[in-house]
Homo-oligomer: A and B are copies of this chain.
């Protein structure tokens, strides 16, 4: 089966919440989770290749040492093994058991150290004593190990330890993935995610997986707008990309940074720096139409790659739909953010929300009523229900994507359908867009879009743009 969900539903079950898709997500989780990713190196390349096997995109590279705005593309980091062994040779902390144990981007070491010598290089989380924290040392040459606070407390403070990190930093490349899905509206939207985190699940294995499924779906439909998909290491990858494609990136209308989309916690929406931009409205209407309750997060200067995309030189408004947002969940940046924490089913719901968000951008056209004086007589065109009976009867789901798997769907009634037609005729003066009408009326974008097409067919409405 395919994810191919075109606007015109043609297959019986093109639904991302289906068992097949959930199984496909689960398989991908299993393949990608164990890889030791970093800013650069084999882990990133393996990850991009596996994602590319789900849906094709270009994998590009920029050489270490390249100046990218205020930054420099770093060397490639390779790591074979790393451990701390006790006096009996028993490995008490081992990279091969969990790659989070090594401070990411650590320099090499092979030495016997006293506990006191070792201690400054050990990182733990006293407040979550069973978790291994995730730490990096990208921009300072250093080495270290991360371990649970419980482990630290069990260590013999008088003992000596064999400490090994078999790593190297060598000139190489920084890799990123990209693809442009061309549209014809003149508008272009960005969908980005980052691929530099090692064995951590919600942040950001989940974002990468959603990214590739969203890409596969978008490639399967004919889009109005262009969509640029980017996957790169966080911060330096985004900066490198922006440096490579500076002029192209100045013309982008908005976009989304995909991150932390499969946790057990609440949905959230992180606003663009513009607060109430079209991309914010499209996402929030999608969530409202699905009956999803979500936390509103304001723009945060300490967020993800919107920190780069939205800087003065580009000013691309970027939003993020999350399920258990980074920073906010207890297991964030620890070994407990693993495959027991996230669920394919949660990711599939986030995927639906992003699909609906993009459909909202696609549907956001401006129409003009061809019947400016008084309302049209819907009845003579067969657009009005006959007399009698309540107008509350259900004629469809407000959010068809959620319909089969959740109780989140709200009925679309005959009243909704009539209101959608009347609202389209009332507000469409050639200036007001469909998202504006959805905000005014609280009607689902899907119903407004469907009725707009019907009214065009009946010569009551015309498309302005």
A374 touches B144 (CB 8 A): no
B422 touches A372 (CB 8 A): no
- Bitwise, A424-442 to B at CB < 8 A (1) or not (0) is 0110110000000000010
Cβ of A4 < 8 Å from any Cβ of B?
A: no
- Bitwise, A382-425 to B at CB < 8 A (1) or not (0) is 00101110000000000000000000000000010011001101
Residues of B within 8 A of A235 (CB): 375
Contact pick for A387, options B136, B239, B273, B302, CB 8 Å: B136
A429 touches B312 (CB 8 A): yes
CB within 8 Å for A374 and B69 given contacts A388-B123, A426-B311: yes
Cβ of A142 < 8 Å from any Cβ of B?
A: yes
Closest Cβ–Cβ distance, residue A328 to chain B (whole Å): 15
**How many residues of chain A have a CB within 8 Å of chain B?**
53
Closest Cβ–Cβ distance, residue A84 to chain B (whole Å): 17
- Bitwise, A288-307 to B at CB < 8 A (1) or not (0) is 00000000000001100001
Chain B residue, CB-CB nearest to A306? B426
Cβ of A97 < 8 Å from any Cβ of B?
A: no
B441 touches A301 (CB 8 A): yes
Closest Cβ–Cβ distance, residue A36 to chain B (whole Å): 18
Residues of B within 8 A of A68 (CB): 374
A390 to B243: give the CA distance in the assembly, Å: 32
Cβ of A308 < 8 Å from any Cβ of B?
A: yes
Closest Cβ–Cβ distance, residue A331 to chain B (whole Å): 16
Residues of B within 8 A of A387 (CB): 103, 135-137, 140, 142, 144
Residues of B within 8 A of A135 (CB): 387-388
CB within 8 Å for A69 and B371 given contacts A142-B387, A386-B140, A387-B142: yes
Question: In A229-267, which residues have CB < 8 Å from any B CB?
Answer: 235, 238-239, 242-243, 246
Residues of B within 8 A of A301 (CB): 419, 422-423, 426, 441
B71 touches A311 (CB 8 A): no
B388 touches A310 (CB 8 A): no
Question: In A31-70, which residues have CB < 8 Å from any B CB?
Answer: 68-70
Residues of B within 8 A of A243 (CB): 373-374
Question: In A274-330, which residues have CB < 8 Å from any B CB?
Answer: 301-302, 307-308, 310-314
Closest Cβ–Cβ distance, residue A303 to chain B (whole Å): 10
Chain B residue, CB-CB nearest to A311? B374
B302 touches A415 (CB 8 A): yes
Contact pick for A374, options B239, B302, B374, B375, CB 8 Å: B239
Question: In A128-157, which residues have CB < 8 Å from any B CB?
Answer: 135-137, 139-140, 142, 144
B375 touches A311 (CB 8 A): yes
A243 to B374: give the CA distance in the assembly, Å: 9
Which 9 pairs show the lowest CB-CB distances between chains A and B? Answer: A313-B373, A313-B372, A139-B379, A312-B372, A239-B374, A308-B374, A301-B422, A70-B376, A312-B429
* 13 new A-B contacts at CB < 8 Å, known A307-B375, A311-B426: A135-B387, A242-B374, A243-B374, A301-B419, A301-B423, A301-B426, A307-B422, A307-B426, A311-B372, A312-B369, A312-B372, A312-B426, A312-B428
